[in-house]
Structure 1
Amino acid sequence: MTPSRDISRLIEIMAALRAPVGGCPWDVEQDFSTIAPYTIEEAYEVADAIQRGDFDDLREELGDLLLQVVYHARMAEEEGKFTFPDVVEAITTKMIRRHSHVFGDDKARGAGMAKGMWEKIKSAEKAEKRAARLARGLDPEDNGKGFLDSIPLALPALTRALKLQEKAARVGFDWGEAEPILDKIEEEIGELRAAMATGDSASIRGEFGDMLFAFVNLGRHLGVDPEAALAGTNNKFRNRFHYIEKVLDERGKSLEAATLDEMEEIWQQAKGKV
């Protein structure tokens, strides 16, 4: 089999890898749950290539992410659920429907994206899903999900906290401004101190989580994305620590041989440089 620019070749390769006879033993034994972590990892690697501005890596990582889509579609096809063309049809249908101001008739294109149109489109999609459930003999209103259950469990915890808060805010469950959230954070810190005094690890973990959740809420009201903010701080910490390592190396010392006071001194220097 030879490489190709045609998506059908990738689909063929995946089918061959999943073939019970002659396929790859590792690929054959995988299922949706075992592949899902790889899907998430590949999405992160795409984001990393974008952040680094490395387009060679981005091309490769996008291919890896596309493979994940093909992988899941192949497993679904094996179970008789849907095929890769069904995936393509579903997303093209959705994009055309949600952009009538681009793909609609002359009147729709001329009107542009009217106020409230997005919510109307979403309502229409929900109605279609209810009708589809009814056609399958299921309760159209009971999809086993609460108001917040559409927020994916697999999201990074900080991002999921933000999404949960944003959705709850749509129905008025929200702080009116940022200032009171600072008081809430102080309250959560006090509860964490009390938990630490007990030494109860479960209580400490719970109170620590509450504190982080409150910080995410504060960031939301300040217009700060928690994942992006923490990613920036992570990079800053890495760069400053690397500076410590570099200076110590110039002094003929290793990280292990340096004292905390010495590293702190260089850290303070690094704050003005990186």
Structure 2
Amino acid sequence: MSESFYTWEDLRYLMTRLRDPETGCPWDLQQTADSIVPHTLEEVYELVATIESGDVDAMRDELGDVLFQVVFYAQLAQEQAHFDLSEVVHGLVSKLIRRHPHVFTDGHLRAVQRHHFATEAVMDQWESIKQAERETKLQMHVLDDVPVSLPALTRAQKLQKRASTIGLDWSALAPVLSSLKQELCEFEMALDSPEKHADIAHELGDLMFCCVNLARHLKLDAEQVQRAANQRFEARVRAYTALAEQQGLSPVALTDEQRDALWSAAKQQVQRQSEHSRGHS
């Protein structure tokens, strides 16, 4: 028998059923907010993967999985009399109205008035409003609410962006590049003393931090840039091993010349495939 088209309320009901002490799911009943954090992170990364792949059907499914995480956390909070899902929605809508005064001009959801603002001006306004909110919450420092659990590149870029709001930034790209070159020199100097492993790690970290800053000044997201680089490398390695197999060669028993030639061919193959995909997108 076919089921009816499920709704938001059905999802909320399903969650209460899963957590019912007498008839619920044993696994779901054992979970806490802390225990499902790894699942939440996994679901978010799976969603990102579907977005990057362009698979719309898979994206729909993964959005559902992420939504379930939100409903799960809200259910746990409701059971402990902290808040419920309706309060989550209310808080979200209120916050977004407050942070979009250029859209909701009188502070009300139904306000409709056309305004034209440059994206940069809107982002500046957004940061000013968020800073005012932090001060209201007694988060007096601009870095107080940058989560330590963020991926390292994402957190580095967020720290840099926050620091820029108090003047710790360059206004042009040239000094960013100069700083990167300086950090590279310091890293190379550290390599002259290989026994000082901590110094090498320190300088390498500074160099990577500068690369993130360069991405930020180029208005690129460092995490996405690195993910794309990872994907390119993976595609090239797969092409490299496939080409070696086609030529009856073992990847681990190649001369330097053979390896370089195969790697160059693999890069060209991946580049052609990428250009072909873009041409049909």
| TM-score normalised according to structure 2 size | 0.78
* Corresponding residue to 2:177 among 179, 182, 201: 182
Q: Tell me, in whole angstroms, the C-alpha distance in 2 between the residues paired with 1:200 and 1:26.
A: 48
The correspondence of residues 152-231 of structure 1 with structure 2, limited to 5 A, is: 152-196=147-191, 197-231=193-227
Residue 269 of structure 1 corresponds to 265
Q: Tell me, in whole angstroms, the C-alpha distance in 2 between the residues paired with 1:192 and 1:3.
A: 63
Residue 81 of structure 1 corresponds to 82
Give the residue type in structure 1 aligned to 2:248.
G
Cα distance, 1:182 vs structure 2 = 2.9
Please give the secondary structure, in 2, of the residue aligned with 1:270: helix
Cα–Cα, structure 1 residues 26 and 190, in superposed 2: closer, same or farther, change >3 Å? Answer: farther
CA contact (8 A) 1:100 1:109 kept: no
Cα–Cα, structure 1 residues 223 and 123, in superposed 2: closer, same or farther, change >3 Å? Answer: closer
Aligned residues: 260
Cα distance, 1:257 vs structure 2 = 5.0
Q: Tell me, in whole angstroms, the C-alpha distance in 2 between the residues paired with 1:198 and 1:101.
A: 56
Cα distance, 1:192 vs structure 2 = 3.0
Q: Tell me, in whole angstroms, the C-alpha distance in 2 between the residues paired with 1:4 and 1:199.
A: 65
Please give the secondary structure, in 2, of the residue aligned with 1:204: helix
Give the residue type in structure 1 aligned to 2:268.
G
Cα–Cα, structure 1 residues 203 and 23, in superposed 2: closer, same or farther, change >3 Å? Answer: farther
1:112 correspondence with 2:108: no
Cα–Cα, structure 1 residues 228 and 174, in superposed 2: closer, same or farther, change >3 Å? Answer: same
Q: Tell me, in whole angstroms, the C-alpha distance in 1 between the residues paired with 2:142 and 2:55.
A: 39
Q: Tell me, in whole angstroms, the C-alpha distance in 1 between the residues paired with 2:208 and 2:47.
A: 27
| TM-score normalised according to structure 1 size | 0.80
Q: Which runs of 5+ in 2 are unaligned?
A: 271-281
Residue 72 of structure 1 corresponds to 73
Cα–Cα, structure 1 residues 113 and 148, in superposed 2: closer, same or farther, change >3 Å? Answer: farther
CA contact (8 A) 1:103 1:109 kept: yes
Q: Tell me, in whole angstroms, the C-alpha distance in 1 between the residues paired with 2:117 and 2:246.
A: 62
Please give the secondary structure, in 1, of the residue aligned with 2:269: coil
Cα–Cα, structure 1 residues 204 and 34, in superposed 2: closer, same or farther, change >3 Å? Answer: farther
Q: Which runs of 5+ in 1 are unaligned?
A: 131-139
Please list the CA deviations of residues 181-226 of structure 1 after superposition, one character each: whole Å capped at 9, or x if unmatched: 3332233234334444243444333322111101111222233321
Residue 246 of structure 2 corresponds to 250
Give the residue type in structure 2 aligned to 1:222.
L
Please list the CA deviations of residues 41-68 of structure 1 after superposition, one character each: whole Å capped at 9, or x if unmatched: 2222222111111111011100000001
Give the residue type in structure 2 aligned to 1:264.
D
Cα–Cα, structure 1 residues 16 and 221, in superposed 2: closer, same or farther, change >3 Å? Answer: same
The correspondence of residues 93-132 of structure 1 with structure 2, limited to 5 A, is: 93-103=94-104, 109-110=112-113, 112=115, 118=125, 122=129, 126=133, 130=136
Give the residue type in structure 2 aligned to 1:93.
S
Q: Tell me, in whole angstroms, the C-alpha distance in 2 between the residues paired with 1:198 and 1:245.
A: 33
Please give the secondary structure, in 2, of the residue aligned with 1:239: helix
Percent same amino acid at aligned positions? 36
Give the residue type in structure 2 aligned to 1:45.
E
CA contact (8 A) 1:158 1:216 kept: yes
Cα–Cα, structure 1 residues 179 and 123, in superposed 2: closer, same or farther, change >3 Å? Answer: closer
Cα distance, 1:70 vs structure 2 = 0.5
The correspondence of residues 23-38 of structure 1 with structure 2, limited to 5 A, is: 23-38=24-39
Give the residue type in structure 1 aligned to 2:164.
A
Give the residue type in structure 2 aligned to 1:182.
L
Q: Tell me, in whole angstroms, the C-alpha distance in 2 between the residues paired with 1:3 and 1:24.
A: 23
CA contact (8 A) 1:101 1:109 kept: no
The correspondence of residues 5-16 of structure 1 with structure 2, limited to 5 A, is: 5-16=6-17
